[in-house]
Amino acid sequence: INLNNITYDEKYQDYIKVKLESEKIFYKSGATCLRVTNIYGNGMSKESIIFEILKKAKNHQSIEIENCQTVRDFISIYDVVNGIYCSVKQMKNSIYNLASGNPMKIHDLAKLINFKVGNKEKVICKKSSFSQITLDISKTEKELEWKPVYDISSYLDQLISA
């Protein structure tokens, strides 16, 4: 299984190896495998970084970020459902990445949420070392004729009002 379409931080190497070994088992059985980045949307986990930041911003509290250089790709639940639908239609024995294709720093996400909520409190960085996990979606877009539609910036308005 090719790692060329995954960018990851070395500290996640063991985690990624286990996931890739699991993918191999499914792939060998003829299945379609979907790699999905961080999902957001109504009903998302209360342990997600977006939920945590939203909660603090809505309460006009300062937001502490463990690592401000962390880069993640966030994808709407609606885009994930559409990606699953497209993969079921195609029924290919392959591995596809579902992501927005627009990774962002957690620090920038926190500043954006603060701005949208009107929170004047600061975003505090505990440390600043680069960490990244992103996926290349070009194969998915081409072979499954799938493209992410939702943008986290505009979708945040719905999450804020929820």
Element (H, E) at 6: strand 6-8
- The whole model's pTM is what? 0.85
pLDDT, position 12: 65
Identify the sign of the CA torsion 70, 102, 82, 2.
negative
CB–CB of 133/75 below 8 Å? no
How confident is the model over 96-125, as pLDDT tens digits? 999 999 999 999 999 999 999 999 999 999
pLDDT, position 162: 73
How confident is the model over 2-35, as pLDDT tens digits? 455 555 566 667 777 788 788 888 888 999 999 9
How confident is the model over 26-61, as pLDDT tens digits? 888 999 999 999 999 988 888 999 999 999 999 999
